[in-house]
Amino acid sequence: MLYDKAVITNASREATRQGVVYSMPYPASSAIVSTATNNLAKNLITFGGSGTPSATVSPTTGCTGTGTPLTVTVSYPFTGLAIGSGVVEGTQLNPLASFAKNALTLTASTTMNCE
C-alpha cells in the first residue's frame, strides 16, 4: 500500500509539473490527466484488483496564465492482500472492509504555480 501511495504521489507531481511548465499554448487538461494515468498504468501494483485510478485537474481548463495555481489530484481504490475481503481463515482482519467495498482509497494532490 505504501508503494502505491508513493506511485500516485509521484504521478500527481509529474502531471502537475507537465501542466505548469511554460509553453504556448499550455497543455490541455486531457494531456495532463493522460500523463498521470500513463504513469499509474506503468507503476501501480494492483494485485489483480479491479480498481481504476483517476486524475482530475483544477482548474479544469489547465493553466490560464503565469502565476496561477494548477492542482492535479490522483485517486486509486487500493485492494491489497489484507484489505481485500478482510477475512483470513475465518478471522476478520479488516472490520471496515465490507463497508468500504473492500477498498481503501489512496489520494494524492499536488499544486504548483504556472510558469
**pLDDT (tens digit per residue) in 5-55:** 999 999 999 999 999 997 888 899 999 999 999 999 898 877 666 678 899
CA distance 112 to 68: 8
pLDDT of 69 over the 60 cut: yes
- The per-residue pLDDT for range 75-88, each reduced to its tens digit, is 988 876 554 555 55
Phi, psi at 78, each rounded to 5° = -80, 125
- Residue 40, Cβ neighbours under 10 Å: how many? 23
Q: What is the mean pLDDT of the chain?
A: 82
Residue 12: predicted pLDDT: 96
Query: What does the pLDDT read at residue 99?
Result: 54
Q: Which CATH architecture has domain 2-77+105-113?
A: 2-Layer Sandwich (3.30)
User: Domain limits of the chain?
Assistant: 2-77+105-113
